[in-house]
Amino acid sequence: MKNMRNKVQLIGNVGNDPELELTKNGKKFVKLSIATNNTYTNKDGEKIKDTQWHPVLFWGKKAEIAEKHIVKGQEIYVEGSLNYRNYEDDNGVKKYVFEIISNDLLLLNN
pLDDT tens, residue by residue, 36-85: 999 999 999 999 999 999 999 999 999 999 999 999 999 999 999 999 99
Q: What is the 3-state secondary structure (H, E, C) of 74-110?
A: CEEEEEEEEEEEEEECCCCCEEEEEEEEEEEEEECCC
Count how many domains the chain has. 1
Q: Which CATH number belongs to the domain containing residue 7 in this structure?
A: 2.40.50.140
| Amino acid at position 78, single letter | V
Q: Are 23 and 67 in contact (CB under 8 A)?
A: no
* Domain residue limits at 6: 2-107
The pTM of the full predicted model, rounded to 2 decimals, is: 0.82
Q: Would you say residue 2 has pLDDT above 70? A: no
